[in-house]
Each structure stands twice: as C-alpha cells, then as structure tokens.
C-alpha cells in the first residue's frame, strides 16, 4: 500500500508492505520537492493491525497539518507467506 500526501512543495509518502520473513514494514519518506532536504524512516511491526493503526494516526496528523492525499498509480501484489 502506498499513500501520498502533498502540501504545496512538501510531500509525505508512506509505504506499508510485508517483508520476506512476514513482518510488516511502514516506510515513511518526506521532504520538499524544491530542495534536497528529504528524510525517511522505516518501522517494523510484527502485526498488520499495529501497522495499520500507525498509518491511520499518520493520516490524521497530515490532515491536521493541511496535507492532501494524492493519487498513487503503483499497485502492490500481495504474497501469501502464511
């Protein structure tokens, strides 16, 4: 899952995916499209519901800061590791 937010030239992108050992990874990247001031963070969750909870928190935070969601054209393929 990929979700993008934008506020003028500022961007925030979140990717939620399952890695090869079955953990859920929430990757966050943010910055400004006009300069090189960008950063990222990766957090590993052992439970999908914990990762989704954090994703909802991020959505609320971005909305309060005036960010708007933008359309993502990527598609994710789910693999069954179960």
pLDDT string in tens for the chain (82-residue length): 899 999 999 999 999 999 999 999 999 999 998 888 899 999 999 999 999 999 999 999 999 999 999 876 666 567 676 6
- CB neighbourhood size of 8 (10 A): 10
Contact predicate 12/62, CB 8 Å: yes
Distances, alpha carbon 9 to alpha carbons 4, 34, 35, 68, 74, in Å:
13, 7, 9, 12, 21
Residue 71: its pLDDT value, please? Answer: 74
Average pLDDT, the chain: 90
Residue 11: its pLDDT value, please? Answer: 94
Residue 37: its pLDDT value, please? Answer: 84
Give Cα 30 distance to the centre of its chain: 10
Question: What DSSP string runs through 46-63?
Answer: SSHHHHHHHHHHHHHHHH
Tell me yes or no: is domain 2-69 CATH 3.10.450: yes
| Reported pTM | 0.79
């Amino acid at each position: 899952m990929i979700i993008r937010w934008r506020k003028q030239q500022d961007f925030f992108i979140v990717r939620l995916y399952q890695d090869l050992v079955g953990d859920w990874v929430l990757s966050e990247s943010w910055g400004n499209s006009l300069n090189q001031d960008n950063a990222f963070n990766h957090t590993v969750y052992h439970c999908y519901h914990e990762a989704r909870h954090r994703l909802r928190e991020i959505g609320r935070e971005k909305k309060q800061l005036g960010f708007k969601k933008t359309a993502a054209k990527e598609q994710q393929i789910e693999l069954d590791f179960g």
